[in-house]
Amino acid sequence: MSAVITVATTGPIATTVSNPAIPTTPEQIAGAVADAYEAGASIAHVHLRDEHERPTADLGVARRTIDLIAERCPILIQLSTGVGLSVPFVDREKLVELRPRMATLNPCTMTFANGEFRNPPQDVRRLAARMQELGVKAELEIYDTGHLEECLRLRDEGLLPEPLQFSIVLGVRGGMAATPENLVSMAGRLPAGSIWQVIAVGRRNLELTAMGLALGGNARAGMEDTLYLRKGELAPSNRALVERATALAVALDRKIASVEETVGLLGLA
Ligand code: KMH
Ligand code: ZN
């Protein structure tokens, strides 16, 4: 099956201090997304930053970013409702009112690096219900086995339409370690027919992304997940990381899904 490549250009944490090439303004993010689209990405996972590079759920910044991306390319937009650890859930959830094609849904509260990522059960249910009303497909971010169980509960409560779409997140402190064993175990637990990708954060990004593709999953690439192309070598751009992921997929005999194919594969409205 074709591989869907998602670009995650910015994320919630790293700034230009760690890698000067990380895009943080709406213009820079749109430029990086357009480059990634040319390199094979069909989905853009979008985080927003304010003028001090801090994560924000500001709807004006979000609208401007979405509009600039749409002017440049027809990539599918997946807004992050994770946004950033410092942003309250009530602000994060408003982003889905902009009706992106997709948005992330983080099912559980957890320790996240040095902070706390708050996703209280009632708030998650309210957001899942609203996403369903608006026709915004949920990308379920699972950092541990219990998070998968919670997603299955949400599905059973009628809050998540199938097919379920998962990101198996490996390498966040507070969640599963980035090991092949954890990936194989999680992929094996997903309900039949699920769509999934690996989000491999940090040093083991390359090998776990390759493993995910080899196991039949999709791939995510970009500076949200790693700032390096290899040890000691900063990634010069998001495009370089997307090109690396598409090369892996092609080497494994997977075609790269176009935007139209991705709409079909993911069952998007
Ligand atoms: N960087 C991810 C592992 C989301 O976008 O919804 C966590 C995250 C969640 O940013
Ligand atoms: Zn994210």
In the reported structure, the alpha carbon of residue 4 is separated from the centroid of ligand 2 by a whole-number distance in angstroms of 17
| 106 CA to centre of ligand 1 in angstroms | 8
Burial 42-61 (b: 16+ CB within 10 A, else e): bbbbbbbbeeeeebbbbeeb
pLDDT recorded at residue 199? 98
pLDDT tens digits for 108-159? 999 999 999 999 999 999 999 999 999 999 999 999 999 999 999 999 999 9
| End-to-end alpha carbon distance in the chain | 21
Query: What pLDDT was estimated at residue 110?
Result: 98
Residue 60's pLDDT is: 98
Q: Over the stretch 4-57, which tens digit does the pLDDT of each residue have?
A: 999 999 999 999 999 999 999 999 999 999 999 999 999 999 999 999 999 999
Where do we find the tokens 């997929």?
249
Choose which residue among 104, 201, 223 to substitute to test ligand 1 binding: the one with the highest number of ligand atoms within 8 A of its C-beta: 104
Distance of alpha carbon 44 from alpha carbon 51, whole angstroms: 21
> What are the distances in angstroms from CA 196 to CA 7, 108, 225, 231, 233?
15, 18, 16, 27, 29
Among all bound ligands, the one having the nearest atom to the CA of 117 is 1
Using a 6 Å cutoff on CB, does residue 127 contact ligand 1?
no
CATH fold for the domain made of 5-266: TIM Barrel (3.20.20)
- Proportion of the chain above pLDDT 90, given as a percent: 99
Query: What spacing in Å lies between the alpha carbon of 85 and ligand 1's midpoint?
Result: 10
Q: How many angstroms separate the alpha carbon of residue 108 from the centre of ligand 1?
A: 12
| Nearest atom, ligand 1, residue 105 CA | 6
pLDDT tens for each residue of 63-75:
999 999 999 999 9
Ligand 1 atom nearest 106 alpha carbon: 6
Question: What are the domain boundaries of the chain?
Answer: 5-266
Q: Percent of the chain at pLDDT above 70?
A: 100
Q: Check if 172 has its Cβ closer than 6 Å to any atom of ligand 1.
A: yes
